[in-house]
Amino acid sequence: MLYPEIETRDSGWLVRPDGHEIYWEETGTPDGIPVVFLHGGPGAGISPNHRRYFNPKKYRVILFDQRGAGKSRPFGSLENNTTPDLIGDIEALRVDRKIEKWLVFGGSWGSTLALAYGQACPARALGFVLRGIFLCRPSEIDWFMAGMGDFQPEAHQQFLAAVGLTQNPGAAALLDIYGRYFAGDYGDDAACQAARAWSGFEARCCTLLPDDGLVDSFEGDEIALALARLEHHYFVNLGFFGDVPLLTGIDKIRHLPATIIQGRYDLVCPPVNAFDLARAWPEAEMVIVDDAGHAASEPGTIRELVRATDLFAARPEYS
């Protein structure tokens, strides 16, 4: 259901004033509808399959690794790594690629960043395709740390055992313990093992049916070390949103077309998040995929993501 594999037309690193270097790729047609792809995590990075949600004859696709992720440098860095910094990177990339406006496509943490970017720069968004909604609220972080394991108890036991626990001490305490591991209090090897346990736990909860390939990918050094440290960093800082929840700013973007795609059995970002967003944004199209969990790689979710981008490309202004 994905479009055929496609190579990049161009790629490079965008050097930011604070020393971060943001890796980006461009594919599709130069004259197509611009779209920016925002990956999850934070820290997960982009992959070749992410290029394939878009008709290459219709879209000009810009993908990039967010700060600390993938090929962006320095890898795994928490310094100057906040949501406002990421929004600044998106805008700098838009200007660098000489794009006036673009469709904003994001899943999981990418949906969080898409909403934050849209609210900060509403004049630069053509619309939104959002999947696996995460609003970075305290209740959602508590769920990840302390609730999700009720549905994947074997995986949760591994998550606890990696930091020397047999019982869950509660979300806040578990975040604190993992933070000490990631800070290197128990040595570099223990920090790496904790990162792989964190990322593996998430991967085991991502899909409706087990996907060993996804787990292996998440536990590999290319993803695990950045994903775990950056997710923890953003969790403990509540996404750097302060006292202003994302849902309060929907009025800034509600005039723009949007599709919300949510797996019915999403354990990582439960469907209630998407329903809360849809209640705040009734003009958006809401699609529940009844045979999917959280991952963008599940067949039903792929079908709806491709349908959403195809429908956007078929709008009269682009036909």
Measured CA angle at 41 (ends 37, 46), to 5 deg: 40
Query: Is 108 an active-site residue?
Result: yes
Per the listing, tokens 């990039």 go with 64
Tell me if the domain spanning 10-136+241-318 has CATH number 3.40.50.1820: yes
Nearest CA among 117, 123, 89, 93 for reference residue 104: 117
Range(s) of the chain covered by CATH 3.40.50.1820: 10-136+241-318
Q: Distance (Å, rounded) from C-alpha 60 to C-alpha 312?
A: 13
Nearest CA among 239, 109, 228 for reference residue 177: 228
Query: Is 276 an active-site residue?
Result: no
CB 159 within 8 A of CB 198: yes
Residues 182-218 have pLDDT tens digits of 999 999 999 999 999 999 999 999 999 999 999 999 9
Q: Report the pLDDT averaged over residues 288-305.
A: 98
Residues 259-279 have pLDDT tens digits of 999 999 999 999 999 999 999
Mean pLDDT rounded to a whole number for the chain: 97
Give all strands (DSSP E) within the chain, no chain letters: 10-15, 21-28, 33-38, 59-64, 102-107, 125-131, 258-263, 285-289
Tokens for 70, please give them: 């993938």
Label residue 263 exposed, middle or buried (CB < 10 Å: 0-12, 13-18, 19+): buried
Give all strands (DSSP E) within 85-177, no chain letters: 102-107, 125-131
Tokens for 252, please give them: 């800034």
pTM, whole model, 2 decimals? 0.97
Predicted pLDDT at 25? 98
Q: Which of 65, 89, 211, 266 is catalytic?
A: 266
Q: Which of 108, 111, 156, 211 is catalytic?
A: 108
Residues 43-73 have pLDDT tens digits of 999 999 999 999 999 999 999 999 999 999 9
Residues 207-260 have pLDDT tens digits of 999 999 999 999 998 899 999 999 999 999 999 998 889 999 999 999 999 999
Residues 132-181 have pLDDT tens digits of 999 999 999 999 999 999 999 999 999 999 999 999 999 999 999 999 99
